[in-house]
Amino acid sequence: MAIMGRSGNPAKRALQDAALARARAKEAASLIRATFYCDESGYTGANWADADQPVFVHGGWLVVNSARGGILDEMLALRERFGLIGGELKWAKVARRRNSSAIYRNLFELMLKHGALPFFFVMDKDFLLAAKTVETFFDPAYNRHLDPGFTGAYEEKKQLAEELLPAKEILAEFATMHREGVVPPRERVGALAEMIAEWFELGGTQWVAETQRDYSDHELDDLRSEFGATNSMRSTTGHSLPGLMQLLEGFMRPRAIALRILHDNLTRFDDLIEFVQRLLRPPGPMDSMKLGNGSFYFSMPTVTGFDLVDSKSEPLVQLADLLCGFVRTVFTKVKNGEELDDDELAICSDIAMVHVEYYCWDANMPEAMWESFATQGWAELRRRFGS
List beta partners, residue 39.
59
- Dump pLDDT digits (tens) for 25-82: 545 557 899 999 999 999 999 999 999 999 999 999 999 999 999 999 999 999 999 9
Termini Cα distance of the chain:
68
Query: Which residues, given as ranges, of the chain have pLDDT below 50?
Result: 1-8, 20-24, 26
- Asked if residue 11 belongs to a domain, the reply is no
- Among 186, 205, 233, the domain boundary falls at 233
The last residue of a domain, from among 215, 233, 251: 233
Is residue 97 situated within a structural domain?
A: yes
Query: Quick one: 254 and 118 in the same domain?
Result: yes
Domain membership flag for residue 23: no
Same domain for 139 and 59, yes or no, is no
Predicted local confidence at residue 1, as pLDDT: 28
| Structural domain boundaries enclosing 109 | 32-124+242-385
In a domain, 7, yes or no: no
pLDDT score, position 10? 56
Which residue among 179, 207, 233 closes a domain? 233
* Verdict on whether the full-model pTM lies above 0.75: yes
Q: What percent of the chain has pLDDT over 90?
A: 72
Instruction: Please count the structural domains in the chain.
Output: 2
| CATH number of the domain encompassing residue 112 | 3.30.420
The answer to whether 227 and 181 are in contact (CB under 8 A) is yes
| Residue 46 belongs to some domain of the structure | yes
CA contacts within 13 A on the Cβ side of 295: 15
Residue 23: predicted pLDDT: 44
pLDDT of residue 15: 54
Whether residue 170 contacts residue 196, with contact meaning beta carbons closer than 8 Å, is answered with yes
Determine, yes or no, domain membership for 3: no
